[in-house]
Chains A and B, each alone.
Chain A
Amino acid sequence: MSIEVKAIDKTFGTFKALDQVSLKVATGELVALLGPSGSGKTTLLRIIAGLETADCGEIFFHGDDARGKMTKDRNVGFVFQHYALFRHMTVFENIAFGLRVKPKALRPSEKQIKEKVHELLKLVQLEWVASRFPSQLSGGQRQRIALARALAIEPKILLLDEPFGSLDAQVRKELRQWLRRFHDHLHITTLFVTHDQEEALEVADKIVVMNKGKIEQVGSPEDVYHNPASVFVLNFLGNVNIFHARSSAEHKSGEKPAKMYVRPHQLIVSRSPLSENSVKVVLTFVNLAGSIVKIDAQSQKGEIFQVEMSQEEYRALKLTKSDEVFLTPKNIAFSEYEI
């Protein structure tokens, strides 16, 4: 089912959580809402679920106006950040809840409920925990049970609020890939909220970058990473170096001071200047641990630069700390005039 929100506003007291937000999500897409805390991404998710009411704006599910519908009638699967599993119910009862509260005429029989719950437990690969209580599960297990519970009502839309936020690094990575495979298998329209750009880049079909209640950019992971629409998006999706220049080849409207933003791996390191844009720096720190080499460098003006290169390149250049070298931007990610 597709989702469309139009011109949503939401204010909490004096805090503007969402400011004229509009977004379209196509059927079957896996979309990440990415942004720092307070950017309004969770609020948007909750408004879509009906857990929060927008001050103004419209929401459509598959073209139908959803504003008049209560949460319970929206048939939206929601996975909460802290899972919100019912602590006094077993895992089985948690998953069965959505089926048991259906109106009598639509309620499945006890046998059907049992089958459905076991089918879902199988899907999340946790068949053996049916009779346990949520407090007896690990974080990753709770996460998967919360997902199974949300899927029990066969939602057409799945919303996940920071789904991996409270898990440790290892489990996070595993579940991330699992969610991707899982979505490829079920194809439910899915929106998830995250503040982790790596997570969004790795999992989503489409990324919505949010900041201060507004959408900064919508696009594929490659798109937002390589063609950022704003400095905010550029900064949020990875480290970036700033070059100050008098003139800019791209902007022909005369000589104005400009800023050029360059990703650490888009810098060429050389012993002699390659162009007029080359900057002379001293290497202050070299980190060899990892698949790539991370280098910190400082110019005579005191600007700090971060450079990344492969181990091979590093060895070929025979660099060591305190070397004087030149940095030349290979590819400018974004540029703007200084104000």
Chain B
Amino acid sequence: MSLVNFTTREITCKIVYYGPGRSGKTTNLHYIYGRVPDSRRGRMVSLATQTDRTLFFDFLPIDLGQISGFSTRFQLYTVPGQVYYNATRRLVLQGADGVVFVGDSQARQLDENLESLQNLQSNLLEHGVDIRTIPLVLQYNKQDLPRELILSPADLDDALNFRAVPSFGADALHGKGVFETLKGISELVLKKLAAGTPA
């Protein structure tokens, strides 16, 4: 897909929230949805199971209006985290301009995080995308949980962030770190414009 179209003067960014099941990807989107003025957001599409697990994917279009003469749109997607929905994940990942990896800060979820990260890498590769070239940020969610249950962002950086991408501690339920993360990924995605190669 074309990220920046100078002919129609449009910028469209597709950002995919990726991560293990129950790490808080949809929560991120819900929080953002709640903060975006009505006029700026489209309908949030959420296909969830009865137990509120994402079945297919969530989709939240945000219209940022005219920026420097470009009508700018962000499309936020989440993938289903559960392992057996890999085909869907791969589908959603197609054409992504940037990826937010939402990790679960709980110590016992570390393996799931790693597994999901590897899954991201291989799924990107299926689309011919090198994980080292696509804009990527990490979010360590659930930092509000008791300290004894979770790993600190620094520890998580050590464990997960071997590519030294921007990382953010977050409490998506209450919104802490959600917009910081979005800003982080937006910046990376948009900066890629300057580099001149459309994602």
Q: Does B associate with A? A: no
Give the interface of B toward A (CB within 8 A).
none
Give the interface of A toward B (CB within 8 A).
none
